[in-house]
């Protein structure tokens, strides 16, 4: 089952004024509601101020005895807390329980407009208080985004952290912990080894220092106020504290971050600052301006250091150049030797942070000038051969950019259909329908064959009426755009798209092996891919399929795309036995620009319950790290034949995921390396989840469950690895691996504005 909110209702940037107010409550009513919310899993991790804000927005409803409060099967958008009275719970007409004062029910309605699982009927006069879905999610989105913005603003005031990027600052903001100190309590002591940095949120801090090495009487230095910070050098240096910092007058609330967490998230501060400087310089080089951030990071990692003494020639006029230089320290002078006279004329001087020789990355040509060290000079050097080994010839990259711009212009002007850069367009009328491969929420997938060439494809047809009704046109357009941009051996190849009066259609490569889900769960297929007595695949098989997903996520995350719907139903086995990731309906670029600001998190709920990360369930805002949580669930499923938090009751799945420290369990005999990997992927805090740390997805690839078993990701990417199973396919029209589905799915006519689907 897939769940999603209408993205139009839950904009990622939320105006606090849009949150509706509730009704007046007596103090005892507010206390009852506060206590009830605090005990509920959806609210249990909220700060006290956020809980009180929820209570304030709850609305009163009164019910007579015998009146239905909610009805089974109805779509609900309200969560209830009973203040007075009693009510019975009915499922399919049979009583299964009862509610009394302080009881709560209907929590799934705070996540999405779902059907009620039961009827709740008042057995006496009842008073209930409700929280509405839109009010709840807007409130939490406003609170979460506001908190991150405030913390980012705090961090940007710290001079030492000023060179950090917005993404790095946001990571640190998410990692800050709140801590309170009582009046007179020492926060740091002079002479002690320091490893923690503090930002003052509330209260005042008195800084003092010993009068001398022999006189430890404390002399006041200064008083710090909210917004001030102290101890920041502890993030970089292991040195004794230079002063005392003491909570003054009343309790002081601080945000804190220690060196170990900083290191885990970003690496050593000095290295981070150095790398950021390199990236800024590389971005300023016109020839490199079109490289993506991940490509620039790869280039920055390849730079090596070369030193020159006063008077040394860094490059000589007329010599063939193969190196590009960035001045890391010192100064150089650039001269040109006049032909005939041999006289040198100084052209300019370059200092720290400036660069020269960049055309050597593009082509073989003689240097146009001399560059000579003036005093000691340190340069960062990039060889053309190293650049080409990383990204290919720069000339090809520039051609790619020109080609992309020409293609975009043609598409905007309507000069040609929207087509993958890897294939020629295929006319819709040239396709012959052969059979049905499956049906979905918005339409169907058919096997089609080109009338002229005989080539076979899959044609995904989505009804505009259904898309518009569920407000998913933005997601469908995202899917098309992201798939068009993808070129990866393990991601579905999109050939072209069509936009008709009633439908949107995607023509893709045909994958005949069926869903990976069927090989995990259908007993008839157990003999095709052997299962262990634990219920899942052999470890080597799980590594193959898990590693395939890791490669897909690595590629997508480099494009700043969060997939957001990882599950075995969205992984098809191709004819060659390799996996292909399909269905990008929930994929989204994060961060993304909204208005004039860059948003680092999305607040739209989407995905499949068994794979939803806690931050998705709790409406805290999410980024690409939700995919690493889903990966942990997926690897668990591959090895055990079930998801880690499975439960027939959807609310229980969410409760177990949020409290994974209590509910994540492994059977006796389970591989300890696999358990360690899964636990690190299922870290409740996205900030410290494996894959989201300084090493990125490489931390997952280097984990012993993969690395100590000789798993070669390069071989998997290049399809040089033996597959666990190659599906038996007798012809390009063989659909035996797909469940039979109805051929005559009627197309609902669409009568709304076609403008909704512009750009598809």
Compute the distance between CA of residue 215 and CA of residue 632 in angstroms, rounded to an integer. Answer: 57
Check the annotation: does 231 bind a ligand. no
Q: What are the residue ranges of helices labelled H in 131-252?
A: 133-156, 166-175
Check the annotation: does 363 bind a ligand. no
- Phi, psi (rounded to 5 degrees) for 147: -65, -45
Quick check: 56 and 78 in contact, CB under 8 A?
Answer: no
| Known catalytic residue at 565 | yes
Q: Beta partners for 372?
A: 313, 333
The distance from CA 693 to its chain's CA centroid, rounded to whole angstroms, is 12
The distance from CA 442 to its chain's CA centroid, rounded to whole angstroms, is 26
3-state secondary structure of 707: helix
Compute the distance between CA of residue 758 and CA of residue 123 in angstroms, rounded to an integer. Answer: 53
Compute the distance between CA of residue 185 and CA of residue 250 in angstroms, rounded to an integer. Answer: 10
Characterize 155-183 residue by residue with b for buried, 16 or more Cβ atoms within 10 angstroms of its Cβ, and e for exposed. beebeebeebeeebbbbbbbbbeeeebee
Q: Which residues have a Cβ under 8 Å from the Cβ of 492 and sit 6 or more positions away?
A: 483, 486, 508, 509, 511, 572, 580, 581, 582, 584
The alpha carbon dihedral of 604, 609, 613, 615 has a sign of positive
- Phi, psi (rounded to 5 degrees) for 220: -65, 140
Check the annotation: does 440 bind a ligand. yes
- Phi, psi (rounded to 5 degrees) for 137: -70, -35
Check the annotation: does 441 bind a ligand. yes
Question: Whose structure tokens read 């636990």?
Answer: 679
Characterize 627-641 residue by residue with b for buried, 16 or more Cβ atoms within 10 angstroms of its Cβ, and e for exposed. bbbbbbbbbbbbbbb
Check the annotation: does 438 bind a ligand. yes
Q: Give the other-Cβ count within 10 Å of 4's Cβ.
A: 21
Compute the distance between CA of residue 618 and CA of residue 629 in angstroms, rounded to an integer. Answer: 14
Compute the distance between CA of residue 459 and CA of residue 448 in angstroms, rounded to an integer. Answer: 7
Angle at 169 between CA 164 and CA 175, to 5 degrees: 135
SS (H, E, C) 643-668: CCCCCCCHHHHHHHHHCHHHHCCCCC
Compute the distance between CA of residue 302 and CA of residue 309 in angstroms, rounded to an integer. Answer: 23
Of 379, 329, 371, 375, which is closest to residue 352 (Cα–Cα)?
A: 329
Quick check: 248 and 224 in contact, CB under 8 A?
Answer: no
Check the annotation: does 444 bind a ligand. yes
Compute the distance between CA of residue 384 and CA of residue 525 in angstroms, rounded to an integer. Answer: 51
Check the annotation: does 368 bind a ligand. no
Total count of residues recorded for the chain: 760
Candidate list 493, 565, 610, 627, residue with the active-site label? 565
Rounded (10°) CA dihedral 382, 383, 386, 388 = 110
Compute the distance between CA of residue 600 and CA of residue 170 in angstroms, rounded to an integer. Answer: 8
Report cis status (omega within 30 of 0) of the bond before 52. Answer: no
Check the annotation: does 460 bind a ligand. yes
3-state secondary structure of 274: helix
Quick check: 612 and 178 in contact, CB under 8 A?
Answer: no
Check the annotation: does 641 bind a ligand. no
The two three-digit tokens of residue 687, written as one number = 């900030």
The alpha carbon dihedral of 585, 587, 588, 589 has a sign of negative
Check the annotation: does 437 bind a ligand. yes
Rounded (10°) CA dihedral 526, 529, 534, 536 = -100
CB-facing half-sphere around the CA of 295: CA atoms within 13 A: 16
| Active site residue ranges | 565
Q: Cite the annotated binding site by residue number.
A: 437-445, 460
- Binding residue ranges for ATP: 437-445, 460
């Amino acid at each position: 089952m897939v769940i999603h909110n209408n993205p139009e209702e839950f904009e990622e940037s939320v105006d606090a004024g849009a949150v509706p107010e509730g009704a007046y409550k007596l103090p005892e009513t507010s206390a009852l509601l506060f206590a009830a919310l605090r005990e509920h899993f959806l609210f249990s991790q909220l700060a006290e101020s956020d809980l009180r804000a929820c209570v304030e927005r709850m609305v009163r409803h009164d019910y007579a005895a015998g009146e239905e409060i909610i009805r089974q099967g109805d779509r609900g958008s309200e969560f209830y807390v009973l203040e007075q009275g009693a009510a019975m719970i009915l499922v399919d007409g049979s009583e299964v329980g009862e509610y009394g004062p302080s009881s709560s029910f209907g929590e799934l309605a705070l996540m999405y407009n779902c059907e009620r699982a039961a009827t709740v009927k008042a057995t006496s006069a009842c008073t209930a208080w409700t929280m509405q879905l839109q009010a709840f999610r807007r409130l939490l989105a406003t609170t979460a985004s506001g908190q991150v913005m405030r913390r980012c603003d705090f961090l940007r005031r710290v001079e030492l952290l000023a060179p950090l990027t917005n993404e790095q600052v946001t990571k640190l903001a998410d990692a800050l912990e709140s801590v309170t100190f009582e009046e007179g309590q020492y926060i740091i002591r002079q002479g002690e080894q320091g490893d923690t940095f503090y930002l003052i949120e509330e209260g005042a801090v008195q800084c003092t220092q010993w009068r001398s090495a022999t006189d430890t009487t404390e002399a006041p230095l200064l008083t710090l106020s909210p917004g001030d910070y102290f101890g920041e050098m502890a993030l970089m240096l292991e040195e004794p504290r230079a002063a005392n910092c003491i909570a003054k007058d009343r309790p002081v609330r601080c945000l804190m971050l220690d060196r170990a967490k900083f290191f885990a998230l970003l690496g050593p501060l000095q290295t981070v600052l150095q790398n950021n400087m390199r990236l800024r310089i590389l971005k300023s080089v016109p020839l490199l301006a079109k490289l993506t951030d991940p490509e620039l990071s790869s280039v920055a990692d390849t730079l090596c250091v070369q030193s020159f003494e006063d008077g040394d020639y860094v490059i000589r006029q007329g010599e063939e150049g193969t190196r590009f230089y960035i001045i890391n320290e010192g100064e150089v002078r650039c001269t040109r030797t006049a032909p005939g006279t041999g006289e040198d004329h100084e052209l300019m001087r370059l200092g720290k942070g400036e660069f020269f020789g960049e055309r050597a990355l593009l082509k073989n040509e003689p240097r146009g000038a001399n560059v000579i060290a003036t005093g000691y000079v340190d340069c960062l050097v990039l060889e053309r051969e190293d650049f080409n080994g990383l990204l290919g010839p720069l000339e090809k990259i520039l051609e790619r950019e020109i080609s992309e711009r020409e293609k975009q212009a043609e598409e905007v002007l309507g000069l040609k259909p929207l087509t993958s850069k890897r294939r020629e367009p295929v006319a819709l009328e040239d396709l012959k329908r052969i059979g049905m491969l499956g049906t979905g929420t918005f339409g169907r997938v058919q096997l089609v064959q080109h009338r002229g060439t005989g080539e076979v494809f899959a044609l995904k047809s989505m009804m505009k009426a259904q898309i518009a009704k569920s407000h998913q046109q933005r997601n469908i357009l995202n899917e098309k755009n992201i798939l068009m941009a993808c070129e990866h051996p393990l991601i579905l190849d999109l050939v072209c798209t069509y936009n008709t009066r009633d439908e949107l259609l995607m023509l893709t490569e045909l994958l005949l092996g069926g869903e990976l889900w069927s090989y995990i769960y259908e007993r008839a297929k157990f003999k095709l891919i052997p299962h262990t007595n634990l219920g899942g695949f052999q470890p080597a098989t799980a590594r193959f399929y898990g590693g395939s997903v890791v490669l897909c996520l690595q590629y997508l995350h480099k494009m700043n795309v969060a997939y957001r719907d990882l599950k075995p139903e969205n992984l098809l086995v191709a004819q060659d036995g390799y996996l292909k990731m399909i269905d990008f309906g929930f994929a989204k670029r994060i961060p993304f620009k909204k208005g004039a600001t860059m948003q680092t998190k999305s607040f739209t709920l989407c995905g499949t319950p068994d794979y939803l990360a806690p931050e998705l369930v709790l409406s805290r805002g999410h980024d690409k790290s939700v995919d690493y949580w889903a990966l942990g669930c997926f690897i668990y499923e591959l090895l055990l034949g079930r998801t880690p938090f499975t439960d027939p009751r959807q609310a229980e799945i969410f409760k177990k995921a949020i409290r994974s420290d209590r509910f994540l369990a492994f059977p006796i005999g389970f591989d300890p390396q696999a358990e360690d990997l899964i636990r690190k992927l299922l870290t409740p805090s996205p900030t410290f989840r494996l894959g989201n740390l300084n090493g990125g997805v490489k931390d997952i690839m280097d984990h012993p469950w993969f690395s100590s078993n000789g798993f070669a990701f390069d071989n998997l990417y290049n399809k040089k690895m033996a597959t666990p199973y190659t599906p038996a396919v007798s012809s390009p029209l063989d659909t035996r691996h797909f469940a039979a589905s109805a051929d005559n799915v009627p197309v609902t006519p669409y009568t709304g504005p076609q403008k909704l689907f512009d750009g598809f």
